[in-house]
């Protein structure tokens, strides 16, 4: 099948997300504004006001209610979308766990922003990294084109019957959300065809009948016309809770496979292939930069410049952070001797940043264990330049020569 003809539209990251969601046309969008996500909500409201979408826009009174409304809607089998950042995501925290545990395929765009205090509206990953245990699939985008593309793929991933988990599509605040980019957009009908109808999932329920009970197959949704009414959001004692958590994990495992499948299918349509990880010039690299998000674009320029200078360096951008793609990461870095793990968030008091801890765990127990050096950068929107990345790589070369990582955690661009 040939790659589709795509219209190029100049849009910011927020606008690209809003546009993608317009093409998806979910049943409801329930959202509360927070910088730097506001443009998504505003642009979508305009589509609604102009009658361009049949989506019900619910202008909820808080982010907690935004996700709660999405849970209610998704429970009826409807497609539900929301978007938020930082404090909004933090406010939704308890509902994140409920959404994933109820196996609801909600899609949420997170415009990555630093968590207060001090209040800061700029890009860092403390918000979504703080939610990494919540059972949501987390995909980090390098640019607004990817944000557009991922907002379309997310539905196929979330709704896959073996996955049935909600998806966070992450894009850096201001850097992507408010910066204009040329976005190649698919035609409306191609998007609708790609996402299709949500596949139905069923559960076996025992119901009373004359003289006893019988087991019936019921669709997993709130449907007053279904022959069997479903009860969702139940109470579990210690005798059965554990099993549901194990089941959720199985959804995450399936997601590793499904994300790659969907990324491939999308590539055939658009010419842009997506996977769990995006390696760059790693084939013969001694040192690799590993990280998530938009700064990996900057890092790739540093990689090219360092290559010109004779360094054998490469980059591994991790696109899918949850589930963590252990096999793909090990494969990509199998010949690398030392890794600069870039964390745009901290885990206070931890043995490293969130990505660093996952990287070290991923390699523990494997035959090949490159040196891992942790670099904390970009908190609260602190900029990171090509020169900064080059310095990071040279520092890691120093560690390689010394035979050990000389400092467990380093900070890039910090005063003092």
CA–CA separation, 323 vs 248, rounded Å? Answer: 11
Selected binder of other proteins within 50, 210, 243, 309 (CB under 8 A): 243
Query: Least CB distance from residue 249 to other proteins, whole Å?
Result: 10
Is 116 near other proteins (CB under 8 A)?
no
CA–CA separation, 98 vs 314, rounded Å? Answer: 39
Q: Which CB sits closer to other proteins, 242 or 334?
A: 242
Query: Least CB distance from residue 23 to other proteins, whole Å?
Result: 15
Q: Which CB sits closer to other proteins, 27 or 304?
A: 27
Q: Which CB sits closer to other proteins, 218 or 409?
A: 218
Pairing between β-strand 338-343 and β-strand 287-291 as defined by DSSP bridges? parallel
Is 64 near other proteins (CB under 8 A)?
yes
Is 131 near other proteins (CB under 8 A)?
no
Q: Reduce the DSSP state of residue 8 to 3 states and report it.
A: strand
Is 268 near other proteins (CB under 8 A)?
no
Q: Reduce the DSSP state of residue 93 to 3 states and report it.
A: helix
Is 52 near other proteins (CB under 8 A)?
no
Beta bridge partner(s), residue 314: 288
Is 402 near other proteins (CB under 8 A)?
no
CA–CA separation, 395 vs 387, rounded Å? Answer: 12
Burial class (CB in 10 A: 0-12, 13-18, 19+), 307: middle
Residues 6+ apart with CB under 8 A from 261: none
Beta bridge partner(s), residue 138: 168, 322
Is 165 near other proteins (CB under 8 A)?
no
Query: Which of 41-49, 73-81, 262-270, 396-404 is the region at the interface with other proteins (rule: CB under 8 A)?
Result: 73-81
Nearest 5°: the CA angle 194, 199, 203 is: 165
CA–CA separation, 206 vs 232, rounded Å? Answer: 15
Q: Reduce the DSSP state of residue 133 to 3 states and report it.
A: coil
Selected binder of other proteins within 31, 39, 80, 91 (CB under 8 A): 80
CA–CA separation, 181 vs 171, rounded Å? Answer: 13
Q: Which CB sits closer to other proteins, 166 or 378?
A: 166
Query: Which of 67-75, 342-350, 355-363, 368-376 is the region at the interface with other proteins (rule: CB under 8 A)?
Result: 67-75
Query: Least CB distance from residue 80 to other proteins, whole Å?
Result: 7
CA–CA separation, 42 vs 100, rounded Å? Answer: 27
Query: Which of 72-80, 319-327, 389-397, 407-415 is the region at the interface with other proteins (rule: CB under 8 A)?
Result: 72-80
Structure token pair of residue 67 = 């996700």
Is 49 near other proteins (CB under 8 A)?
no
Question: Residues interacting with other proteins, by CB under 8 A?
Answer: 27-28, 30, 54-56, 58-62, 64-66, 68-76, 78, 80, 94-95, 98, 101-104, 164, 201, 203-208, 213, 218, 220, 222-226, 229-237, 239-240, 242-244, 246-247, 250
């Amino acid at each position: 099948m040939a790659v589709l003809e795509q219209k190029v539209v100049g849009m910011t990251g927020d606008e690209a997300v809003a546009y993608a969601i317009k093409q998806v046309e979910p049943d409801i969008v329930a959202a509360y504004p927070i910088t730097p996500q506001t443009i998504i909500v505003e642009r979508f409201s305009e589509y609604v006001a102009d009658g361009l979408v049949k989506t019900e826009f619910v202008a909820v009174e808080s982010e907690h209610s935004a996700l709660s409304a999405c849970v209610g809607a998704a429970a009826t089998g409807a497609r539900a979308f929301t978007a938020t950042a930082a404090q909004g995501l933090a406010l939704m925290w308890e509902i994140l766990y409920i959404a994933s545990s109820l196996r609801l395929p909600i899609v949420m765009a997170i415009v990555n922003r630093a968590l207060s205090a001090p209040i800061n509206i700029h890009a860092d990953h403390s918000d979504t990294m703080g939610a990494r245990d919540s059972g949501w699939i987390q995909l980090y985008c390098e640019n607004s084109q990817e944000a557009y593309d991922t907002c379309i793929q997310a539905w196929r991933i979330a709704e896959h019957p073996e996955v049935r988990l909600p998806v966070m599509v992450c894009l850096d605040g201001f850097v992507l959300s408010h910066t204009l980019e040329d976005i190649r957009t698919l035609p409306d009908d191609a998007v609708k065809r790609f996402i299709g109808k949500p596949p139905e999932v069923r559960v076996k329920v025992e119901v009373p009948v004359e003289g006893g009970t019988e087991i019936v197959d019921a669709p997993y949704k709130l449907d007053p016309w279904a022959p069997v009414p479903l009860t969702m959001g139940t109470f579990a004692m210690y005798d059965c809770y554990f099993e549901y958590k194990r089941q959720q994990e199985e959804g995450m495992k399936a997601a590793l496979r499904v994300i790659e499948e969907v990324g491939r299918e999308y590539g055939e349509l658009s010419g842009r292939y997506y996977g769990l990880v995006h390696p760059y010039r790693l084939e013969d690299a001694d040192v690799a930069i590993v990280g998530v998000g938009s700064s990996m674009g900057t890092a790739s320029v540093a990689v090219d410049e360092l290559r010109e200078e004779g360094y054998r360096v490469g980059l591994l951008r991790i696109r899918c952070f949850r589930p963590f793609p252990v096999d793909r990461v090990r494969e990509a870095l199998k010949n690398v001797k030392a890794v600069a793990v870039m964390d745009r968030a901290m885990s206070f008091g931890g043995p490293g940043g969130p990505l660093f801890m996952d990287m070290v765990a991923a390699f523990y127990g494997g035959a090949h264990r490159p040196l891992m050096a942790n670099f904390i950068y970009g908190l609260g929107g602190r900029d990171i330049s090509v020169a900064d990345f080059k310095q990071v790589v040279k520092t890691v070369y120093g560690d390689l020569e010394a035979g050990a990582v000389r400092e467990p955690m380093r900070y890039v661009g910090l005063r003092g």
